[in-house]
Structure 1
Amino acid sequence: MPPRPQYTTFEASDGALISLKSSLPITNPDPSFIPDSPVPTFNSTSTSGSGPRARSDSKASVIAEEGPNYSRLILLLHGFSGSSDYFDRNFDELAKNHWVVAWDMRGHGRSGLSKARKGKGNGKGEAEAGDGESAGAGADVDGNDRKETYTGGYHVARLATDLHNLLTCLKSSRLGPSPQGPQSLPQPPLEVIGVGCSIGAAILWTYIELFTDADFSGFIFVDQAPLQDRSVFGAWDSTKAHKGCYDEATMLGAQQAWNKLPEDRHATHLGLVDECLGYRYQPLPTDKISEEEKKEDEEFFTGISAQCPSGEWLAKLIADHTRYDHREACEGISKPVMVMGGKRSGCFSLEGMEEVVKRAKKGGNEKAETSWYESGHWLFWEEAERFNGEVLDFAKRCWSE
């Protein structure tokens, strides 16, 4: 069984406090934050009693024999209005033999819209009381809120910068061979498989454009085309663009739907579920989903969307996301690529998603492939067992080369 996951926060370069879920314990970037689950004890010594675990000469043997360690990371990025909880059917299975981290991007889940106060306090490490948004917020020893609310950051480029900040944090906050004492061995390089779902894929493409793909060993892009809007460039029409949000008029409609208080957005959240679960978007006689399961799925996903504190912030993010053209960025990917897509996705066509592979190959990358699922946009949920297996197989291929 994998260790119990740990929730913690890190501070982005602009002060935003962002939550993450880690399968292995890490040093806490925010010492005043109290995780809502216990921090497990990580034993880094090998089962053979030969001392601290070290990198093997064979990458394949590391994966097969050594189990989870801090040298190899599967990083999960959720979609619009989602959270790390999207991966409840994936996290534990992937974490059996790997380090797994899933974040709640800013404005989502436990991250909310909190920002660290700068230059506040009484000089003794105690912050002044704040009036900020409280989701995911910590407090000082006297119970004073030390956070405030921010209103910006609703751009894919900002989210990609957050990802860069996250990777920097993870590289520096891995526990050493002895959690009780100073590190006795240097940390190995961190090798990362990025798994981006929906806008999570767009964040990875933007990261590649801004920072190159050097920090990653491979990429899995899940049910996202490299451009949502229709375009006069590259014959990007209704066969490739997003099915529901693809121009000025439909984007404004989406903004109106999301620009509401959480308690007034339930119809919008239901609409998202209808688009993203294949058995709801395109039901088939062969679907074996009970009414109880349907209700549980609906409550699960609408509940996660309702955690997002600001509909206005989400609406502004939609405008940036839908117009962002990542096609040329895909040509700059040198690492292995897998594109996963749902045949019953209410968001994108297979043709639109296949453009990622075509562009990667145009840039000289022959290690790019597709995998089409029988489900919808949230294929990692509907076909979790297959998804988990393919992620693990892909990671093993990347790390064995």
Structure 2
Amino acid sequence: MPRPHHTTTFTASDGALLTLTSSLPISSPDPSYIPTSPILTFTGPTATTTAGTRARSASKASVIAEEGPNYSRLILLLHGFSGSSEYFERNFRELGERHWVVAWDMRGHGGSGLRRKKRGKKGVEGEGQYESYEGGYHVARLAVDLKNMLDFLKTSRLGLGVGHAGAGGGCQGQGPKPPLEIVGVGCSIGAAILWTYVELFTDADFSGFVFVDQAPLQDRSMFGEWDETKANKGCYDEKTMLGAQAAWNKASEDRHATHLALLDECLGYRFHPLPTDQVSEEEKKRDEAFFTAISAQCPSGAWLARLIADHTRYDHREACEGITKPVVVMGGKRSGCFSLEGMEEVVKRCRRSGNEKAEVSWYESGHWLFWEEAERFNGEVLEFARRCWSE
């Protein structure tokens, strides 16, 4: 059964046009909205920003609206490298039965592509014309994109009700809106984007974080006893990174072998098959067609190759120490990307700074555990969100 969804676009602060998928309809944002990067703060029951006036109740109880999807509680799904929002095909519907769910296509992926509005000779924006966007292949740029998306979603809520959404969409509410309570679910590079977000903007916008199968540093390092037991299993130094770049630096029609190699790393039954696996040959073929088609949507192999270099070298360990909100780290025992020891470092760093609300959850599958063990994943995310929003 196809997932219920509403697709829309927003413009990042540098002009890139990005796509997101929402479980609830999203109205056009306030026309005065301009993407910005500063942290949104509230000095009392109400506060004013450049995007308009938002009201925040001082009562935590008022944040929890009636049961069912509403515009005050958001589960935000961030996919991995060369993926898209389609990765969450097995998660979107079940999570969306109780909460507002949004998944984006990060720039350079899925429907977002790599385009921005074309500028004329005098800096005048061209009418309906576009040029290729060649920059933005940094995790920090993706974190700013995330900030722009959250500002867009918050602004869109100004014209939406926060109660239960019926068949006609959100109820048109009057009066102040409660704050947007967000649980961020970052898979692979999606986790890295969330760590960078915390480093740049703090964790104030979030109620909790789920980090899925990603260690806080892919490279091996002379600092902090970070060797082959904790780093990425296949891309961990200059030589292996250059090999990965060569594999991705191709046109999409020439990258099929690279896309297949990605499946071999990310699906547990391919990376480390077991006699107990109950995956039919037909299902294996469907999985292969599904994931390779998504990777093929990425328009620029050169852009992906540059992104992977930045991602591989980016050390997020200290950023994890800045997380004050609840955390769960999910990892696959058959992941071809990371060891459990490497992923557990996130929890150790959180606790080092006094955050005792950090825990692990190990799965029997691989890097894409949200796909292979979707039922368990959905249940744990829902339970984690419930805890975040009831404390």
TM-score with structure 1 length normalisation? 0.85
Q: Does 1:84 align with 2:77?
A: no
Deviation of 1:114 after TM superposition, in Å, equals 1.2
* 1:386 corresponds to: 376
Give 1:354-369 correspondences, 5 Å limit. Answer: 354-369=344-359
Q: Is this contact kept in 2: 1:177–1:185, CA < 8 A?
A: no
* 1:304 corresponds to: 294
* 1:158 corresponds to: 141
* 2:37 corresponds to: none
Q: Is this contact kept in 2: 1:89–1:381, CA < 8 A?
A: yes
Give 1:283-362 correspondences, 5 Å limit. Answer: 283-362=273-352
For structure 2, the 5+ residue unaligned runs are: 32-56, 163-168
Q: Distance in 2 between matches of 1:326 and 1:161?
A: 16
Q: Judging changes above 3 Å, is the alpha-carbon distance between structure 1 residues 353 and 181 closer, same or farther for their aligned structure 2 residues?
A: closer
* 1:6 corresponds to: 6
Q: Judging changes above 3 Å, is the alpha-carbon distance between structure 1 residues 56 and 326 closer, same or farther for their aligned structure 2 residues?
A: closer
Deviation of 1:61 after TM superposition, in Å, equals 10
Q: Judging changes above 3 Å, is the alpha-carbon distance between structure 1 residues 102 and 182 closer, same or farther for their aligned structure 2 residues?
A: closer
Q: Judging changes above 3 Å, is the alpha-carbon distance between structure 1 residues 60 and 357 closer, same or farther for their aligned structure 2 residues?
A: farther
Deviation of 1:4 after TM superposition, in Å, equals 2.8
Q: Judging changes above 3 Å, is the alpha-carbon distance between structure 1 residues 116 and 183 closer, same or farther for their aligned structure 2 residues?
A: farther
* 1:177 corresponds to: 161
Deviation of 1:26 after TM superposition, in Å, equals 1.0
Deviation of 1:3 after TM superposition, in Å, equals 8.7
Q: Distance in 1 between matches of 2:356 and 2:10?
A: 36
* 1:71 corresponds to: 72
Q: Is this contact kept in 1: 2:30–2:156, CA < 8 A?
A: no
Q: Distance in 2 between matches of 1:236 and 1:57?
A: 44
Q: Is this contact kept in 2: 1:11–1:30, CA < 8 A?
A: no
Deviation of 1:382 after TM superposition, in Å, equals 0.1
* 1:19 corresponds to: 19
Give 1:200-215 correspondences, 5 Å limit. Answer: 200-215=190-205
Aligned with 2:243: secondary structure? helix
Deviation of 1:187 after TM superposition, in Å, equals 1.9
Deviation of 1:264 after TM superposition, in Å, equals 0.1
TM-score with structure 2 length normalisation? 0.87
Deviation of 1:89 after TM superposition, in Å, equals 0.1
Q: Judging changes above 3 Å, is the alpha-carbon distance between structure 1 residues 16 and 290 closer, same or farther for their aligned structure 2 residues?
A: same
Aligned with 1:335: secondary structure? coil
**Matched residue count:** 359
Q: Distance in 2 between matches of 1:359 and 1:242?
A: 18
Deviation of 1:27 after TM superposition, in Å, equals 1.8
Aligned with 2:19: secondary structure? strand
* 1:141 corresponds to: none
Which is strand-richer, 1 or 2?
2
Which amino acid counterpart does residue 18 of structure 2 have in structure 1?
A: I
Aligned with 2:330: secondary structure? strand
